[in-house]
Chain A
Amino acid sequence: MNPLPSTATAEPDARTAEPALAVEHLSVDVHTASGTVRAVHDVSFSVHKGRTLALLGESGCGKSMTALSIVGLLEPVAEVVGGSVKAGGTDVLTLSRRARRKLAGPVLSIVFQDALAALNPVQPVGRQLGEPFRIHHGLSRREAREKAIELMRIVGIPEPRARARSYPHQFSGGMRQRLLIAMAVALAPDVLLADEPTTALDVTVQAQIMRLLRDLRAERDMAVVLITHDLAVVAEHADDVVIMYAGNVVETGPVREVFAKPRHPYTKGLLDSVPERAEKGKPLPAVGGSPPELSAVPPGCVFQARCPLARERCADERPRLTATGPARAAACHFSEELTSV
């Protein structure tokens, strides 16, 4: 289909190398009680090692669905119906279950939002942290335990040796998130997906967790996909951004450029509604109105109902994601009209 500019990078060397993760034309259907809806539609992006790509969008726009289809953890109601997910060159969607399991941990890894629910309540955390080593490296229980303690030290858990025997409910929210991150980075994955890793935490802890993620990214040379609805987090921690709306990518490109000169009315609306651009810890500000129900996405532009620039063409024809710069693209018929702003 339409040629997509690589969302990665300003640096030339990273651009020539193969991306650690390349998602192309990914579509996901959800079978609901009232019929099948498209939750993710033709989503494409790519990330290189050592860089962070932010998936930004309002609640329900399909960010988690995208992440879960990449790591193969979709609920049975949801189904990937098209596209490819290339990690290190191979399309993981075509792999058998077993082959995919081999990649889960050393290649692709994910951190969830609710760390309390994401940790098994009846196992000591040390055992859970050691599990990747037992699964992929065949270590003994004792060896895995040592690795787990080492990981806990790395992510900043005090007294890791003693705490390895504790259970998840005995940790604070921030500590739990650290544990979850430790588990995800245990095998130094090529790609780390972090699904709103700080939403449940208070602002100071959020900052610590984000710093931890950044340090780990540099140290382990990972590509990070950061899912969030916090503009400030994107501005501060991401290199590139993919902005999603109702299951579709509406704009993508390097964060600095996109935020400085948005080429999509939705992006612009988001940015305009933030009083201080880089105010920390605030959720995504509201653009007037709310996104369409997935079962009632209009035939034309997905954003038309809330778009100040909408006109007749927008109702009839869905805009394609088209290049608006060397590494940028937006899905709007009238994106040039925003350049002057």
Chain B
Amino acid sequence: MTATLERPDGTVAAPKRPPRWWLLLGKDKMAAVAAVVLGLVLLTALAGPLLLGDAATRQDLDASLRPPSFDHGITGLLGTDILGRSVLARLVEAAGTTLSVAMPAVLFSLVVGSAIGMWAGYHGGRRENIAMRVADVILSFPSLLLAVVVLYVFTPSVANIVFILALARIPIYLRTARAEAAELKSRLFVDAARTFGTASWPTIYRHILPIAMPTLLTVATLDFCFVMLSESSLSFLGIGIQPPDVSWGLMVAQGRQFLQTAWWIAVLPGVAIVLTTVSATILAAWVRLATDPAQRWRLTLPTSKRGKRRVTTEVTA
């Protein structure tokens, strides 16, 4: 007898696994590059300070405003600032500051916003209304003003900056999570869970969270970029990270007055910001595609051939 007949019925139709994510990532070169860049930034932020020691703070007035060159070792590679500090070392140090503001802020708003949003969407009614109005209020509050006030009343510490940035972004997750939860709630399996008298949190955790998670994570990846930009803007305006701490935005502000004489002080931190945020955005776009079964095919489309074929049909038309 043939193998096909011995095969039991079900196995033939065993559902195919979706392709592994790194294979998909490999197929999208832009996303792969973005992932590598982000990985490097993370690595730099973690390991860089260990390698460079106190180079970021060591002043050397003789070496003031040196342009980037290969003549002064690794610390002189990207030039020096007015106090003779290594721009490279400061960039590395600032990478750590930037990430240590952006990551906790994103995590905090993600957790709090999603929790409130799912709770609101799950229960609906008055609780949902109140949560949505609070989100409206936060969103329409001039956030820069809020930042100034909080940093004025309290001190502009890293923790306060994280708090403000997180607070300002909570509504984004709240709205997303609420919408997901409200939709999922209406589906049967949650109803079943409810009629068995489960408390709301276990139901949310077990039934709603796993389904809402991909969307929320995509939003978070994109928001990482936004939070980073906000931090650097605040620092640039002098109401974010304060010296002697250093962040990329602050470095741009400090280099601004030397724009005509020492361009590298202001230009290079900006390049660092752009590289990181653009990578985060590209990766977020990729995550959104890769986690959406209805869109995933776009990643596998043989692009060049398809493009050509369409163009030719257009010409004949």
Contact = CB atoms under 8 A, between A and B. Distances in A.
A touches B (Cβ under 8 A) = yes
Interface of A: 31-34, 76-77, 96-98, 288-293, 295-296, 298, 300, 304-306, 310-312, 314-315
Given A33-B297, A33-B299, A34-B19, A76 B306 contact: yes
B18 A97 contact: no
Nearest to B293: A33
15 contacts: A31-B302, A33-B300, A34-B16, A34-B18, A34-B19, A77-B297, A96-B313, A96-B317, A98-B317, A296-B12, A300-B4, A305-B12, A312-B2, A314-B4, A315-B4
Interface string B1-36: 111110101101111101100001000000000000
Interface string B273-310: 00000000000000000000000110111100010000
Given A32-B300, A291-B13, A310 B317 contact: no
B314 interface: yes
Contacts of A314: 2, 4
B140 interface: no
Contacts of B195: none
B301 A295 contact: no
A256 B19 CA distance: 45
B260 interface: no
Given A31-B297, A289-B13, A298 B4 contact: yes
B186 interface: no
A199 B316 CA distance: 39
A289 B4 contact: no
Interface residues of B, number: 27
A97 B297 contact: no
Given A292-B13, A310-B4, 17 more contacts: A31-B297, A32-B300, A33-B296, A33-B297, A33-B300, A34-B18, A77-B301, A290-B10, A290-B12, A292-B12, A304-B5, A305-B7, A305-B12, A312-B1, A314-B2, A315-B2, A315-B3
Contacts of B13: 289-293
B300 A31 contact: yes
A300 to B, nearest CB: 8
Nearest to A316: B2
B297 A293 contact: no
A316 B2 CA distance: 10
Contacts of B24: 33
A306 B313 contact: no
A290 B13 CA distance: 6
B9 A305 contact: yes
A31 B309 CA distance: 15
A32 B317 contact: no
Contacts of A97: 313-314, 316-317
Interface in B244-274: none
Nearest to A290: B13
A124 to B, nearest CB: 28
A146 B254 CA distance: 71
A242 to B, nearest CB: 23
Contacts of B18: 33-34
A77 B301 CA distance: 7
A49 B79 CA distance: 82
A80 to B, nearest CB: 11
Contacts of B314: 97
Contacts of A289: 9-10, 12-13
A315 B6 CA distance: 12
Nearest to B314: A97
A306 B19 CA distance: 28
A93 B302 CA distance: 22
Contacts of A312: 1-2
A100 B278 CA distance: 43
A311 B1 CA distance: 7
B123 to A, nearest CB: 27
A304 B4 contact: yes
Contacts of B313: 96-97
Given A288-B9, A310-B4, A31 B16 contact: no
Contacts of A292: 12-13
Nearest to B296: A33
Given A33-B24, A97-B317, A293-B16, A76 B301 contact: yes
A98 B21 CA distance: 40
B214 to A, nearest CB: 16
A288 B9 CA distance: 8
B6 to A, nearest CB: 11
Nearest to A305: B12
B157 to A, nearest CB: 47
Contact of A31 (B10, B12, B19, B301): B301
A315 B18 CA distance: 28
Counting from the closest, the 6 A-B pairs by CB-CB distance are A289-B9, A97-B317, A290-B13, A315-B2, A96-B316, A98-B317
A305 B8 CA distance: 8
Nearest to A101: B317
B178 to A, nearest CB: 23
A291 to B, nearest CB: 7
